[in-house]
Every structure is written in structure tokens, then in C-alpha cells.
Structure 1
Amino acid sequence: MSPSDLPWPLLRSVAALADAPLSQIAERLREATLPSVGSSALVIFTEDCTGRPQKKAGSEDIISKVSIAELDTLRAALPDEGPWFGEAELAGKPRQAMALKHAASNALLVITDPLPADPGTGGLDLVAFLWDITARRIQEKVADAPPSYLLESRAASAERIRVTAELTDLHSTTLETLLAALRSSSMDHATARTTVTDLAARALVGLRTHSDRTTDLVKEPVAKAFERLREDLRPLTSFSGIEVQFIEPPLNGRALPGEVAHAARAIVRGLVLVMMEQPDVTRIRTHWDCDGENLLINVRDDGGGALTTEDPSISRLDRRVQALTGQLRMDVMSGWGADVFVSLPLDLPARPAGDVAGWNLAARELEVLQHLASGHRNRTIASSMGISENTVKFHVRNLFKKLDVGSRTEAIALAHSHGLRQS
């Protein structure tokens, strides 16, 4: 085959997807699929990236409004195989869409307003092929993410929980007030009141559900995370001839932040692969536990004890552990194998108080900032500190000036970056 006969557009698309950073992968996939199906927008929903589970490209009116709850509902209704076409609630209204799930990661691809594809051109098969490459590439990039990405992702996860909590508080108060007004005996039009009351009640339930779902995305029960590890390793352990033992963690262990769960699975997979490459290894045991503050991982083999911390693969895994402010220790005994212990903190480390000394905050201002960083509203802060809401507002204005920020969100983000929380 001469170079002119090669499918260069497809090869260029594959190369672009392979090289794309996570922030641009949706745009690259949309560019690659446009000739086949067309679209107004393309959205990827993946729980591998807990800090930013949506990756989007296309119409701003769609990508700025589409919600995790909408995508989660659509994914739950899809068959496991093949593309789905139909009408779905996206960005707040019904839209024509094409959707595919990725079996290995449960990631979702949604293409809005797709153009009909000519069955004879293989356009749908091409889209499915490119989507499979993209989903696998996302998994690989998250598994091998640099320290900067892991720290940024954890911060984004924490910030999304805070924003969701604040929105829930705000809209819950609004809806509860609406319900009280509509139930008032001084109002007429009983039928209208009953109807609107029912709608408001359902909206309140939906809002709470959305808040719970968002929290679930950034936290994973330790038992579920361990079961996913077992599934990840099942193909490897089925054909290696090496027995891999799994010691289950406690069912009631603390839920893991998403980045910790993903990193833990990648670390164990890496350790198992390194140990399997040694001669004379017949058994590997992996054990997880949780002490409430750390995920504790132990992986042990029965080899000759030839592994060292200087091994390039072990060094790479140790860097990943350090990116999450964890620790990796290896005990090796000649003729008895290697025993690796990993500890991963479940919470972001708090920065020393000296980090905020340059802000010159008064004691009351610092206390208000800690409340803000914990997602508390002015009324809650006032009640907790025994001051009026106007006084809280006064302190907040002073905080804005001293921190050189223009909004509550900026102040909270700055506080989070310095490890501030209410004590």
C-alpha cells in the first residue's frame, strides 16, 4: 500500500486524540466525529475524572447548562451495546441526541442534534471506534496523571461539593418558603395551589437528589473501590498462573475521595505487575484497610526479594503516592519476597497557619473566613458567632479588601488553597 492509499484523515484524528490533554479531548473528538454524524455539541461524562466529570465542546448554550443529573439519567436508561438515538432531557429541555456507553469505564458520550449517518459509509462504526479510543485514553491519562493534575482535581472536587451545598441551602430555603406561602389559608384557588405545591415539592426532592449524586461522584465507598480493583485485575490474574489474593476492607470503612480511589487502584495494579515480572513468584496478596484518616494498602509477594525502591517502576509509583501526600515503604527479605505498605491520606493537608499571616486578618475576620470556607451562609455564621448578619456582612466586606478578591467564591477558593476550614 502506498502512502497515498492510507486513510490519512482517520489516522490524523487518532493521533490528535492520543496527544490531546484532558482539557481538550472533547474538542478533538468532536472535530473527528463531525464529518460522520455532525453535532451541535458533544459531552463526555466520566467518573474517572472526579474533579471534572464533564468534558464538553460545541454550542455554549448546551455545554454551559447540561447537568450531571441529566447525563446520569440518560446513562442509566441506555443499553450496554451500540449507539442509542432518541430524545433526551439535556441542558434543561428535550433534544435529539446520540449516546454511547463505554463498557470498561461506564463513561458516556452524548452528541446533540446528530445528522443522519449514511449506513453505507460506516460513519457510526467510526464514531464508536473513536469513542473507544477516547474513553481508554481518559482512563490512561487519569491513571498516569502528574502530581499537579491530582492536586488540582482534588481541589476541584472539594470546591464542587462546597458550591453544591451552598446551592442546596439557597434553593431549599426558597422552595420551603414557597411551599409555606402556597399552603397558606389566606390564599384562594385551591386547585392551583395544590398543583404548584406538588411541583415545588418535586423540585425540592430533585435538588436534594442532585446534591447527593454530586457528592457520590467525588466519594466512593471503600468496599466498592476495592471491588473495582478486583475487576480490573481479573483478566490479568486469570491467565498469569499466579495466585492473587484479595483481603477485603471493612464494609463500613470511610468513603474514599475519588482521586484517592483511582490512585489506589493504579498503585496496586502497578505493584502487582512489577511483582509478576519477577521469577519464582507464585502468590501475591493485596489488602486494603481504612483507619478513618488514611487508606492503608499492603501488597506482598512470595518471590526472591529482589525488588528495591530504586526500581524505576517502584519510583514512579512512589511519586504518585507523594503527589497525594502519602507514604510508600518497602520491606524486602531475601528468599521471602517483598512487602509494600502504602498510606494515602483521605483529606487534603491543611497548610500551616503562618501561610495566612500576610493577610493581616483580625481574629473575627479569620473566624468568618473559616465559616465561609466551610460553606456556611451569613445567617448560620451570625448564629454560630453570636453576632448580627449585618456584622457578618461588615466582616465579609473587609475580607474582600484584605484578600484582594471581588466575590464570595473567590474568597472561599483562596481560603481552600491555604487549607482553611472551620475548626
Structure 2
Amino acid sequence: MDAWWSDPRHVLDVVERLLSALRPHLLGRFSDELGKLIPHRAAAMQTGDCPRSPLKVVGDQTIAQAVTSVEVQRLVDLSEPGKALVVDGVLGGVERRLVLFSSMPAVGKGAVLVVVPEDGELLTPELELAAQLWHILGTDAGQRALDPGPNVLAGNLAAATARAQAITDLGQTHAATLTTLLAVLRSGRLSDVVARRTAADLATDALLELKGVVDRDQALSEERAAAAFALLRTQLADLVRHTEVDVDLVDPVGDASLPQDIAHTARTMTRGLVLAALDRPATTRLRASWRLEGAVLRITVRDDSPEVTAAVPARG
């Protein structure tokens, strides 16, 4: 360990620099200081106190851009609060030697740091000191999270809402794909060979689309209503083609421009209602339409099931 770390004044200077960092710069500042103790290529942090952006990554972009929250969550389950653990795990799609730092202070929900160290020996004194610094930083972050300003609260709420909407959208997309596959495999209109080939093509297309998924841009761009509905029609095309239900997707009345987030929400809601209706065994006919009345977009999904009220998804 560098002799500087034996000087209490140096350690206090490091702590002061860390605690004075603004929240967006916190991980980058800690990574810089940690690099003097444990040289590393990249660092990923996942915290329960930041609904705006719970996963943050800094360092080598070939690693940082490939890191996923699923990978980090699996590593979270291996971590121990207050300790630095050296483990073998997958980060950025590659199995590597990793160092896990976990903090669970008395306030807040804690945070886990995953570090990709440079090649070389990892010494216990450096690991223990780094774990203590991470705990101090985690305690401060938890305190900050308890008293956010109005602007932070509003931004966090918007971010959490957008993320929940994206999760709902992805869940419905996968549900539509699986429902379509089942409809193809159960169809009495297709031979076994054709059904298997069609199902394989659908699964391949779904996997290619999944690999190409990127974070959706929620900027204030506009989308024509007809184009937005045409995208919905495309998303449901395979399901409509193979279901036994008579599905009628009616082009929107009026072709005003919609904010992109409104168009995205309308597609998500409509697709959810269509899937819910098709899930009712008694449904034989279904009609979905949009109508623009000034600044109001009305979404209508009707079916002939006698239990139509049960087809309406519960509000979250």
C-alpha cells in the first residue's frame, strides 16, 4: 500500500473529496480514488436509493457498454455488506475476476460496487480500506436519499414511471410473442412441418429484435397518429394472423401529431387490452380503434366475451 494511505490527513482528504462530489459524479470520483488502491478497468454500481438511474458504470467502454442490470443483480446476491470479496463472475457478457463491495448502512437501501481489477495480486489491506471507504460513501448516499429536493423528487418520479412503462412494454411484447407461438403450434390450419417452421421463424425474429433493444428515447419528439397505429398493427400482425379470433384493427380517426411518449403509452395500453381480451376463451371477435378529439386520444377495445369487464387490466 502506498505510504500516503498511512497518513490520516491523506485519508481524510480522500473522504472529503468523495463526500463533496455531486451525485452524478459520485461513482466516477470514487473510481478515481479507488484506482490508487486497487487499479481497475471498470466499475459498476447498483443502488436502491436512486430510482432515476439505479445502475451506473464507469471505465473501459468495451466493458461499461455491455454491463446489464441482470448481471449486477446476480453479483449482488453474492456480496456481503462491509466486506470486499474477490469472486469469479460474469460482467459485460464475459466471465472475469471481480471485486465486490457492498454497503448496507442504517439508512437507505444500500449499494453494491462491482470492480474489474487489473491483473495482479489483490492485497488484504487495500481491499479492507476500500471496503471502509465504500461504506462511508454508501452511508452518505443513503442520507442524501432521505432528503431530496422537489426537483429531484419530480425527476425521480418521471424516471421511475418511464422505467415501469418500458418494463410493461417489454413484458407485453414477450407475452405477444409467446402467445403467437402457442397459436401457431396449436393451429389446426397448419401442418406440423409448416407450424414448426413458422414458430422457428417467429422465435428467430423475436430473438433478433431482443438483441437490438436499446433504451427508448422519451424526448418530446412527435409521431403521427396513423404512423403510431401502423406500428401497433405491425407489432400485432403475427398474433392476428394466427389467432382464431376475428380481430379488426381500425385506423385512427384524425391524424394529428402525438407526443412520442403519448403514442408509446397508447400502443402499450392497446396491446395490453388486446392480449387480455384474447386470453378470454369466450372471445370470438375483437375490435380496437383510436379516435383523436382535439387534445384527447380515446382508445377503444371491444370484444364479444360475456365477461368483458374482466379483460380490463387492473390499474397499477
Q: What is the TM-score with the length of structure 2 in the denominator?
A: 0.58
CA gap 1:81/1:128 in 2 versus in 1, 3 angstroms: closer
Alpha-carbon offset, residue 409 of structure 1: 5.5
Contact 2:176 2:236 in 1 (8 A): no
Alpha-carbon offset, residue 112 of structure 1: 1.9
Q: 1:221-242 CA deviation, whole Å, 9 max, x = no partner? A: xxxxxxxxxxxxxxxxxxxxxx
Q: Which runs of 4+ in 1 moved over 6 A?
A: 178-184, 380-385, 420-423
Alpha-carbon offset, residue 165 of structure 1: 2.1
**Cα distance between partner residues in 1 of 2:58 and 2:192:** 50
* Alignment RMSD (CA, Å): 4.6
Kindly report which structure 2 residues correspond to 1:72-221, keeping only aligned pairs within 5 A, or say none: 72-80=73-81, 82-104=83-105, 105-117=109-121, 119=123, 122-174=125-177, 185-186=192-193
Give, as a single letter, the amino acid of the residue that structure 1 aligns with 2:232.
N
Alpha-carbon offset, residue 181 of structure 1: 7.2
Match of 1:41 in 2: 42
Match of 2:268 in 1: none
CA gap 1:177/1:386 in 2 versus in 1, 3 angstroms: closer
Alpha-carbon offset, residue 135 of structure 1: 0.8
Contact 1:37 1:116 in 2 (8 A): no
Alpha-carbon offset, residue 159 of structure 1: 0.4
**Cα distance between partner residues in 2 of 1:109 and 1:72:** 11
Q: 1:208-228 CA deviation, whole Å, 9 max, x = no partner? A: xxxxxxxxxxxxxxxxxxxxx
CA gap 1:97/1:25 in 2 versus in 1, 3 angstroms: same
CA gap 1:124/1:50 in 2 versus in 1, 3 angstroms: same
Aligned length: 232
**Sequence identity (%):** 24
In terms of fraction of residues, the more strand-rich structure is 2
- Please give the secondary structure, in 2, of the residue aligned with 1:101: strand
**Cα distance between partner residues in 2 of 1:44 and 1:118:** 20
**Cα distance between partner residues in 2 of 1:40 and 1:181:** 47
Kindly report which structure 2 residues correspond to 1:10-49, keeping only aligned pairs within 5 A, or say none: 10-49=11-50
Give, as a single letter, the amino acid of the residue that structure 1 aligns with 2:31.
R
Contact 2:89 2:97 in 1 (8 A): yes
Give, as a single letter, the amino acid of the residue that structure 1 aligns with 2:257.
L
**Cα distance between partner residues in 2 of 1:118 and 1:85:** 8
Alpha-carbon offset, residue 99 of structure 1: 0.6
Question: Does residue 1:378 correspond to 2:241, yes or no?
Answer: no
Alpha-carbon offset, residue 67 of structure 1: 2.2
- Please give the secondary structure, in 2, of the residue aligned with 1:112: strand
- Please give the secondary structure, in 1, of the residue aligned with 2:193: coil
Q: 1:311-345 CA deviation, whole Å, 9 max, x = no partner? A: xxxxxxxxxxxxxxxxxxxxxxxxxxxxxxxxxxx
Kindly report which structure 2 residues correspond to 1:318-329, keeping only aligned pairs within 5 A, or say none: none
CA gap 1:41/1:186 in 2 versus in 1, 3 angstroms: same
Contact 1:97 1:114 in 2 (8 A): no
In terms of fraction of residues, the more helix-rich structure is 1
- Please give the secondary structure, in 2, of the residue aligned with 1:149: helix
**Cα distance between partner residues in 1 of 2:24 and 2:130:** 20
Give, as a single letter, the amino acid of the residue that structure 1 aligns with 2:113.
L
Q: 1:45-100 CA deviation, whole Å, 9 max, x = no partner? A: 11111222113211233333322222222212334452221222223332321112
Contact 1:117 1:124 in 2 (8 A): no
